Structure 1
Amino acid sequence: MSKRNKARYKLDRRLGENIWGRPKSPVNRREYGPGQHGQRRKGKISDYGTQLRAKQKLRGHYGDIREKQFRRTYEEANRRKGDTNDNLIGLLESRLDAIVYRAKFVPTIFAARQFVSHGHVLVNGKRTNIPSYRCKAGDVIEVREKSKQSLQVLEAVQLAERDVPEYIEADHTKMTATYVRMPALADVPYAVVMEPNLVVEYYSR
C-alpha cells in the first residue's frame, strides 16, 4: 500500500467519515476510530472540539494541507468582501491541485498534488508545478502531452464515483479543463457535510 493510500485511509478512520466518498474507505466497514480504544463510547464534544473537527475535515479533504498554509487561506478569505465561508471554499477550490482532482485527471487529491509537483500540468500553456497555485476564472489547465496516456490519468477519467462540477469545464478527449468561476459552498460536490462556518469560528476565537 502506498504512503498516499495510508494517509487518506488514516484520515478517514481518524475522522470516522468517508470524506472523499471512496468505495474502498475503511469507514465503509467500521465507523469507529483506529486503535484498541477506537470503539469506546464517545463523550460529549465541546464547541471547541466541534470546530477543531470541522477544520481537520476540511483540511484533510484537500490533502491535509499544512496548518500554516490553511490559516493563511482563512485569513485571505476573511479579508475579502462577501461571505467568509464561501470565500474560504472558493479559495481552496481554486488551488491547482484541487482543480486537477475535480477535473478527474487523477483519482485522488493526494495524487493531484504529486501529479502537479512532477510537472505533468500546464496552466495557460505554461508548466506549473506548484500544487497551491491559485487559478483564476478563465484559466485553462491541461495535462502535458507526454502524460495524457498515463495509466493513472486514463483510469481516473473512467471513475464513476464522482462527476466534474459545473464550475469546471473538462474535455477528456483533449485532457483540458477550464476553471469557469470560483464556486460557493453549495456548488462543491463534497461526499460529506463540510462546515466552513465552524472553521471560521475556530480561527475567530
Structure 2
Amino acid sequence: MTKRVESKYKINRRLGVNLWGRAKSPVAKRSYGPGQHGQRRKSKPTDFGVQLMAKQKMKGYYANIGEKQFRKYYEEAVRRKGDTSENLIELLERRLDAVIYRMKFALTPFAARQFVNHGHVTVNGKRLNIPSYSVKDGDLIEVKEKSKQLAVVLDAAQSAERDVPEYIEVDHRAMRGRFVRAPKLTDVPYPVQMEPNLVIEFYSR
C-alpha cells in the first residue's frame, strides 16, 4: 500500500473536516487530529498556514494528488486565459477518476482512481487506465461490459450520499455517462468549502 493511499484514513482528522461528506468519516467521532498531540489547543493560523490548509484540502479531496502533479495543474491554470481559480477547478474536475467519482461509479475518489487503474473504464469506446486523463466536453465514459455487475459499482450507483452534478449526464442502468461541460466552482458539489483562490496565493508567493 502506498503512502498516498494509506494516508487517506488520516486526511479528514488532520484537516479537521469531513472532506468527502461521508457518514463513516472519523471526524464524526473525533473532531481533533490524529496522534498523541491531536488534542492540543491550536494557535491562530498565519496567512501561510491558511493557504497551506486550503491547498492540502483540495489535494486531499482529489484522492491526495501528488505535490508535483498538483503544482503542474496550478501552472497550467495560470497559463490559460480567464480566472486562474476557476481554471484550476476545471482541470481537476476533468480528471477521468474525478469524472468516474462524479458519475457515482465509485464510492470514493480513491476507489475511482483504482477503478480506472484496473482498466474498468472506456472513453469514447477506447479503454483507458490513466486516472489523470483529461476528459473533453462531450466525451462518452462507460464502465466496461464485464465490470458493470461488480458489487462496488452497483453499491456506488445506488448510494444516497451524493448526487450527480448538472455538468455530467449519467445512465446508471447502462453504466455510461457524458461529460457535458466544464464546471464553475459554484457548480461543483464539494461537501466542504474549497478556496482555490488561496491555493493560487500559496503557489504564487
Q: TM-score range by the shorter chain?
A: over 0.9
Q: In structure 2, how many angstroms separate the alpha carbons of the residues matched to 1:94 and 1:58?
A: 15
Q: In structure 1, how many angstroms separate the alpha carbons of the residues matched to 2:85 and 2:128?
A: 28
1:166 corresponds to which residue? 166
2:195 corresponds to which residue? 195
Q: Give the deviation of 1:89 after TM superposition.
A: 0.3
Q: In structure 2, how many angstroms separate the alpha carbons of the residues matched to 1:31 and 1:171?
A: 37
Residue by residue over 1:23-72, the C-alpha shift from the partner in whole angstroms, topping out at 9 and shown as x without a partner, is 00010111110111111110011100110010000000000001010000
2:108 corresponds to which residue? 108
User: For structure 1, which runs of at least 5 residues remain unmatched after alignment?
Assistant: none
Structure 1 letter corresponding to 2:11: L
Identity %: 68
Q: In structure 2, how many angstroms separate the alpha carbons of the residues matched to 1:61 and 1:165?
A: 16
Question: What is the number of equivalent residue pairs in this alignment?
Answer: 203
Q: In structure 1, how many angstroms separate the alpha carbons of the residues matched to 2:9 and 2:88?
A: 25
Moved over 2 A (4+): 3-9
Q: In structure 2, how many angstroms separate the alpha carbons of the residues matched to 1:151 and 1:180?
A: 27
Q: In structure 2, how many angstroms separate the alpha carbons of the residues matched to 1:4 and 1:196?
A: 22
Whether the 8 Å CA contact 1:4–1:110 is kept in 2: the answer is no
Structure 1 letter corresponding to 2:97: D
Whether the 8 Å CA contact 2:4–2:64 is kept in 1: the answer is no
Structure 2 letter corresponding to 1:130: I
Q: Secondary structure at the match of 1:177?
A: strand
Q: In structure 1, how many angstroms separate the alpha carbons of the residues matched to 2:183 and 2:138?
A: 13
Q: In structure 2, how many angstroms separate the alpha carbons of the residues matched to 1:99 and 1:12?
A: 22
Residue by residue over 1:130-161, the C-alpha shift from the partner in whole angstroms, topping out at 9 and shown as x without a partner, is 00000000001000000000000000011101
Give the TM-score normalised by the residue count of structure 1. 0.97
Q: In structure 2, how many angstroms separate the alpha carbons of the residues matched to 1:192 and 1:24?
A: 16
1:73 corresponds to which residue? 73
Give the TM-score normalised by the residue count of structure 2. 0.97
Q: Secondary structure at the match of 1:169?
A: strand
User: For structure 2, which runs of at least 5 residues remain unmatched after alignment?
Assistant: none
Q: In structure 2, how many angstroms separate the alpha carbons of the residues matched to 1:154 and 1:34?
A: 33
